[in-house]
Structure 1
Amino acid sequence: MTPLISVIIPTYHRPELLRKCLDALAMQTLSPEQFEILVVDDGDQPQTALAVRKAMQETGLAIRYLAQPERRGPAAARNRGWRVAIGALIAFTDDDCVPDPNWLSAGLAGFNGGSSVLTGQLTMPLPENPTAHERTTALLEKAEFMTANLFCRRSVLEEVGGFDEAFDSPWREDRELQFKLLRIGVPITPWPTALIVHPMRPAPWYASLRDERKSRYDALLYRKHPDLFRQRIPTYSTLVRRHYLTVSAAMVSVMAALAGQGTMVSAGVTCWLLLTIMLVVDQLSGQRLSWKAMGHALVVGIATPFLAVYWRLYGAVKYRALYL
């Protein structure tokens, strides 16, 4: 029997999480004969291949394992998956997600109602004492378009060419697909009955600093779709201005010190210090205070403006976009 739906899961070095996702798919109320699963391993990792084989043996699911010869990012992995899929309907999720038992049945009902693209509901339960990074990550629940819970007709993906593989890290590749769909007039239907839980994964205290590099892809998305970017992507303009002002104050202080201008040094340091304290306070908001938490917040508060400005300028230069 030809499957109706093909589920595409990109993965990278997370076999334990992937197995939880596959186990959840084994619990689907939709008959197993009606769907297939394609796992695209962007890390070509033996442990991931083993996890897939065990899942096939223990659940009886129809799973195909595809190893990428080199790491190219989730956009390329998803493209490879849907292009070799059998189903006329494509469902996307991620290896760290846990689909509800009715997820595929709900998606199929949406297609039967005439939709071409469906975006399901994502929930991200927060821990009791969330960090600033966790609170920011949980905003994904409110995203209007996400590949962690997305259904598309294969014909629509073929029409727009799938994902843009220039987005070779997990950031903005989903919104770029959304913008291409909007440009050709494909309706995107919210479908809250298609539910996926995205557990909050433990992250190191410096995770927000590491994630600043993702912002370079904002410049690429802006260059490709400037009008839709301005309409639909939050700019956080106040925070961005604070970052630029913080970096500028630090630079003024250094240059004034080299020029022997004591008054300018004092003014620059005072401005930098006040802005940095604001960032540190933001980092500590809602957390239990401890020396470790305060130390981490201090490092993040000092480093964030410099990294944020660097990666925004890097993206603007690399992608030749006037996005500052």
Structure 2
Amino acid sequence: METKISVVIPTYKRPRLLVRCLEALALQTLDKTMFEVVIVSDGPDRATGEAIARWYATQPAVNLRYLSTPAKKGPAAARNAGWMAAKHTLIAFTDDDCVPAPGWLQAFRCHYHGEPHVAMTGRVQVPLSPRPTDFEWNTAQLQTAEFITANCCCSKAALLSVDGFDEAFGMAWREDSELQFKLITQGIPIVRIDEACVWHPVRPAPWGVSLREQKKGLYNALLYKKHPRLFREKIQRRPLWHYYITVSLFVAMCAALVFDWRPWFQLALIGWLLCVVLFTWKRLRTTRKSISHIAEMAVTSMLIPFASVYWQWYGAIKYRVLLL
């Protein structure tokens, strides 16, 4: 019996991007009878359902199902709903803002040899402009990730063995690493398949987006609590000392100002400014040098250490684990 694949795509209120992803799946070299597409909306989303219906009317040969979770719980919960409803042996995951290459599913299928418990991870390409922004540059680091849900494939038996995704990860952050670490812990092999390629274009981002991104850091604490050794090996080898030093210098500067310790105030101010300048330069070194982007990097470099430390400690308190 030939192995078939279920493609699971979590989505929420991004119908235009989702349709672009579906168009790429319709162009797969793998015969359309050999795979199904399971789309799961992370909560009710009428616009997405209507967009899928319009698209499906032009592509009836694609085996497609659209599900919705009762409430918004994050992509981990949506993926769980998708793979548990899937009909086939292999479960391939991608995201609604990705564009799978034509041979994506064929590559996974060709490298599957009937193992009951196996996972595969493909190659992610992030197209960049000649002068990328800091957000674009950070997104491009997905190209070097060991295992991400934008491009992976697991046997359904492997997902059952590790209980799928941990739905406590309520945002698109670290839930893929948590799945990877469970696979590693249970000795389930993760095979790299470079021929399985997915393009991950960078979405437009608002000014100062890097500051908002710091909220995701609270899930670092949860991942560390569950897998401390692997977290240190693969995610964050040491504490973010430069953030702690920056925040400590600012606090010392404020204290010196209150108590009128002028020499200490000047010393702390110089140290804090130096930290901010070095952080700003580090982010600008390989990115765009426009006036707007330089201003964005300067402002957010002053604020990111505070936001990062806050959210990491928020997570540490919430999940009752000491993570520096």
**TM-score, reference length from structure 2:** 0.95
Matches within 5 A, 1:78-97: 78-97=79-98
Q: SS in structure 2 opposite 1:151?
A: strand
Q: Is the 8 A contact 2:132 2:287 kept in 1?
A: yes
Partner residue in 1 for 2:229: 227
Mapping of residues 300-311 of structure 1, within 5 Å? 300-311=300-311
Q: CA deviation at 1:293?
A: 2.5
Distance 2:126 2:310 in 1: 30
TM-superposed CA distance for 1:205, in Å, is 2.6
**Corresponding position of 1:312:** 312
Structure 1, residues 98-122: CA drift from partner, whole Å, max 9, x if none?
1111111111111137472110111
Aligned amino acid, residue 297 of structure 1: M
- The yes-or-no answer on 1:176 pairing with 2:183 is no
Separation in 1 of the partners of 2:54 and 2:114? 36
CA distance, structure 2, for counterparts of residue 198 and residue 71 of structure 1: 24
Q: Describe the SS at the equivalent of 1:58.
A: coil
1:126-165 aligned at under 5 Å gives the runs 126-165=128-167
Gapped runs of 5+ residues in structure 2? none
* Match of residue 45 from structure 1: 45
> 1: distance between equivalents of 2:215 and 2:135?
15
Residues 236 and 17 (structure 1), Cα distance of their counterparts in 2 relative to 1, 3 Å cut? farther
Q: Identify if the C-alpha distance between structure 1 residues 231 and 216 changes in structure 2 by more than 3 Å, giving closer, same or farther.
A: same
**Matches of 2:231 and 2:316 in 1, distance apart?**
15
* 3-state SS in 1 of match to 2:173: coil
SS of the residue corresponding to residue 111 of structure 2 reads helix
After superposition, the CA RMSD in angstroms is 1.7
Q: Does 174-183 or 286-295 show the bigger shift? A: 286-295
Q: Extract unaligned runs of 5+ from structure 1.
A: none
Question: How far apart, CA to CA, are the structure 1 residues paired with 2:197 and 2:310?
Answer: 37
Aligned to 2:188: 186
> What letter matches 1:192 in structure 2?
D
* Other-structure match for 2:208: 206
Aligned match of 1:299: 299
CA distance in 2, matches of 1:168, 1:215: 12
For the 8 Å contact 2:19–2:55, the answer to whether it is kept is yes
CA distance in 1, matches of 2:218, 2:30: 40
The structure-2 alpha-carbon separation of the partners of 1:248 and 1:259, relative to structure 1 and needing over 3 Å to count, comes to same
After TM superposition, list the pairs within 5 Å mapping 1:258-297 onto structure 2. Answer: 258-297=258-297
* CA–CA separation in structure 2 for the residues paired with 1:8 and 1:2: 20
- State the Cα deviation string for residues 118-152 of structure 1 (Å, max 9, x = none): 10111111111111221111111110111111111
Q: 1:177 to 1:255 in 2, by over 3 A?
A: same
Query: Aligned partners of 2:99, 2:289: CA distance in 1, in Å?
Result: 32
| Aligned twin of 1:117 | 119
Structure 1 residues 16-31: aligned runs within 5 Å: 16-31=16-31
Q: SS at the partner of 1:111?
A: coil
1:263 match: secondary structure: helix
Q: How far apart are the structure 1 equivalents of 2:114 and 2:6?
A: 19
AA at the equivalent of 1:199? P
- Shift, 1:16, TM fit: 0.4
**Distance in 1, Cα, partners of 2:156 & 2:119:** 10
Residue aligned with 2:138, SS: helix
Is 1:101 aligned with 2:102? Answer: yes
CA contact (8 A) 1:132 1:285 kept: no
- SS for the counterpart of 1:112 is coil
State yes or no: 1:167 paired with 2:152. no
Alpha-carbon separation, structure 2, partners of 1:83 and 1:37 = 13
Q: CA deviation at 1:208?
A: 1.0
Query: Which letter does structure 2 place at the counterpart of 1:27?
Result: L
Deviation at 1:43, TM superposition (A): 4.0
> Which string of whole-angstrom CA distances, capped at 9 and with x for unpartnered residues, describes residues 3-56 of structure 1?
811110000111000001000000111111111111001142211101211221
Aligned residues: 322
User: Within 5 A, what are the aligned runs for 1:231-270?
Assistant: 231-235=233-237, 237=239, 240-270=240-270
Q: Is the 8 A contact 1:2 1:86 kept in 2?
A: no
**1:253, CA displacement in angstroms?**
1.0
What is the rounded CA distance, in whole Å, between the counterparts of 2:291 and 2:5 in structure 1?
A: 51
Moved more, 62-71 or 158-167: 62-71
